Amino acid sequence: MSNPVGSVKRGPHDPTRAHPGSRQAEAEAWLQSLRSGGREREDAAARLDGLLVKAARFELLRRRAQWNRSGESLDDLAVQSADSALSALLSKLDHYRFESRFTTWAYKFAILEAAQLARRRAWQERELPIGPEEWDRLAESTPELAAGVAVRDQLRRVMRAIQTQLSAHQREVLTELVLAEVPIDVLAERLNTTRGALYKTLHDARRKLRDVVGSEADD
């Protein structure tokens, strides 16, 4: 959707025509144009998309080390981030509260999308590094968790519950999201599922562990 800003015809509610010192007038002009129909909305969205591309490029440059090996260009990633940001922003126009400039509020969408995209690319070529068997060695390999007998015993109860009470899928999700800190978007893509489904699996696994470990402690 990204278009060169200079190729877009200015509409009657072009935000750039607002009084230079009026933040509210500028924001209202953006909102009116983006909520209108037809060509005016398209032109405003294209202008905003151009600004979002710039914000996304800035964030991606900061995070170049995360995505540099993906083989994709900075421009392509910036456009992807900006387009996702614009879609999210247009669905949340009612959330804008005039507490900052409209463009400042909009930039946050681009920065968030660019950061998430960079993180996904960073994990794209990696193997998911930790298998469920690693839980067996966690107590011995994590001194701060194994420092005391009580803590170590509790940790061993957790490990035993993970191995015996959770399903294979629950163990995998818990391992990758909690221990390996794999981004949830990456794991969702790897497992061909959704973020919501992973959150539910993680919630169910944690609840089951709390119930099991809590009942053992009461015995």
Domains in the chain, please, with CATH?
Answer: 5-124 (no CATH), 132-218 (1.10.10.10)
Token pair 């392509």 in the structure block, residue: 76
Q: Which helix (H) or strand (E) holds 104?
A: helix 102-124
Residue 27 has pLDDT above 90, yes or no: yes
Q: What is the mean pLDDT of residues 21-34?
A: 90
Q: Which residues are CB-contacts of 20 (< 8 A; sequence separation ≥ 6)?
A: none
Band of pLDDT at residue 3, cut at 50, 70 and 90: very low
pLDDT on residue 171: 87
Burial grade of 195 (CB within 10 A; 0-12, 13-18, 19 or more): exposed
Max CA separation in the chain (angstroms): 74
Rounded mean pLDDT, 177-190: 78
Q: Using CA atoms, how far apart are residues 26 and 96, in angstroms rounded to an integer?
A: 13
Q: Please provide the average confidence, as pLDDT, over all residues in the chain.
A: 79
User: What is the Cα–Cα distance from 152 to 162, expressed in whole angstroms?
Assistant: 15
What is the band of 30 on the pLDDT scale with cuts at 50, 70, 90?
Answer: very high
Is residue 4 exposed (0-12), middle (13-18) or buried (19+ Cβ within 10 Å)? exposed
Give the pLDDT band (50/70/90) at residue 160: confident
Q: Is the pLDDT of residue 21 over 60?
A: no
Q: What SS3 class is residue 166?
A: coil
